[in-house]
């Protein structure tokens, strides 16, 4: 217990230091004007998403044909497209709002989602988020992005982070790869490895910049490409 607590403290201290870098100007992270997202997770906002109707979400999924790309039951049809099964409703909702508000707009394939999100009401978004949250997380797969040795090497990053690079442990926020903290941290377990790699690279080069406080931009910028591949492999193959 104490050990875990210490780890969390170290993680929080590490994250505080990260925020410090952001203030001082982290040259690895591209600046963007305006807030990274218009979402504020206050109580009314949390209650609104919590009230999403999965039955209506199911009908919308059929009508809007989300399943043609994200797959039946949320396991994506293409390897570099995201699976959204079992995802925390808050995160799915935030992504749809960010696409609608053109906060997640500069990546290669985001325009597909921007166009769709602009046709949705906030109630539609909450309902569809509740529908996808009702599925289990995607099943484990065996992609071939990294060797066994490379995967072994990134294990300490999950639980301890790396103080020298001011990297907080992944599990500080993404508990065991599942949904994590109560607000906006996504589940990453079972995510398509190719999409995982792509989105981490997009945080790293700043084309994805809808993460509040630039948390994932700072973290990705401190990781090597080999580490990103190994992390993508790890989360895809774990169960």
Binding-site member from 46, 112, 140, 155 for ligand HEC (CB under 6 A): 112
**Could you give the count of Cα atoms lying within 13 Å of 45 in the half-sphere of its Cβ?**
13
Nearest approach in angstroms of CB 25 to ligand HEC is 19
Nearest approach in angstroms of CB 15 to ligand HEC is 5
DSSP per residue, 57-69: HHHHHHHHTTHHH
- The 8 Å CB, 24+ separation contacts for 112-121 are 112/69, 116/64, 119/64, 120/64, 120/96
Size of the site for ligand HEC (CB under 6 A): 42
Distance CA 239, CA 190 (A): 7
Is 110 a binder of ligand HEC (CB under 6 A)?
Answer: yes
Q: What is the sign, positive or negative, of the torsion defined by CA atoms of 196, 228, 161, 107? A: negative
Nearest approach in angstroms of CB 10 to ligand HEC is 12
Is 39 a binder of ligand HEC (CB under 6 A)?
Answer: no
Q: What is the largest CA-CA distance in the chain?
A: 51
Count Cβ atoms within 10 A of the Cβ of residue 230 and give its class: 0-12 exposed, 13-18 middle, 19 or more buried: buried
Is 68 a binder of ligand HEC (CB under 6 A)?
Answer: yes
The one-character DSSP state at 108 is T
Is 173 a binder of ligand HEC (CB under 6 A)?
Answer: yes
Nearest approach in angstroms of CB 207 to ligand HEC is 9
167 pairs with which residues across the strands?
Answer: 162
Is 109 a binder of ligand HEC (CB under 6 A)?
Answer: yes
Binding-site member from 126, 186, 214, 236 for ligand HEC (CB under 6 A): 186
Is 85 a binder of ligand HEC (CB under 6 A)?
Answer: no
Distance CA 189, CA 140 (A): 8
Is 230 a binder of ligand HEC (CB under 6 A)?
Answer: no
Interacting span for ligand HEC (CB under 6 A) from 25-33, 42-50, 145-153, 195-203: 195-203
User: How are the residues of the chain apportioned to helix, strand and coil, as percentages rounded to the nearest 5?
Assistant: 60, 0, 40
Return residues touching ligand HEC (CB under 6 A): 15, 64-66, 68-70, 81-82, 84, 92, 94-96, 104, 107, 109-110, 112-113, 116, 128, 157, 168, 170, 172-174, 184-186, 188, 191, 196, 199-200, 210-211, 215-216, 219, 231
């Amino acid at each position: 217990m104490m050990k875990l607590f210490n780890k969390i403290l170290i993680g929080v201290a590490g994250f505080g230091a990260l925020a410090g870098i952001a203030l001082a100007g982290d040259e690895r992270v591209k600046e963007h004007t305006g807030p990274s997202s218009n979402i504020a997770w206050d109580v009314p906002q949390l209650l609104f998403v919590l009230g999403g109707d999965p039955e209506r979400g199911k009908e919308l999924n059929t009508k809007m044909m989300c399943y043609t790309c994200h797959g039946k039951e949320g396991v994506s049809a293409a390897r570099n497209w995201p699976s959204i099964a079992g995802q925390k409703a808050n995160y799915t909702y935030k992504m749809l709002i960010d696409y609608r508000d053109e906060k997640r707009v500069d990546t290669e394939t985001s325009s597909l989602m921007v166009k769709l999100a602009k046709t949705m009401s906030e109630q539609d978004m909450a309902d569809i988020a509740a529908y996808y949250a009702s599925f289990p997380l995607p099943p484990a797969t065996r992609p071939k992005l990294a060797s066994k040795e490379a995967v072994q090497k990134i294990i300490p990053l999950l639980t301890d982070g790396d103080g020298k690079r001011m990297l907080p442990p992944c599990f500080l926020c993404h508990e065991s790869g599942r949904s994590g903290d109560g607000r906006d941290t996504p589940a990453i377990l079972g995510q398509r490895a190719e999409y995982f790699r792509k989105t981490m690279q997009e945080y790293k080069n700043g084309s994805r910049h809808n993460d509040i406080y630039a948390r994932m931009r700072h973290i990705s910028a401190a990781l090597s490409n080999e580490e990103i591949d190994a992390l993508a492999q790890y989360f895809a193959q774990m169960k």
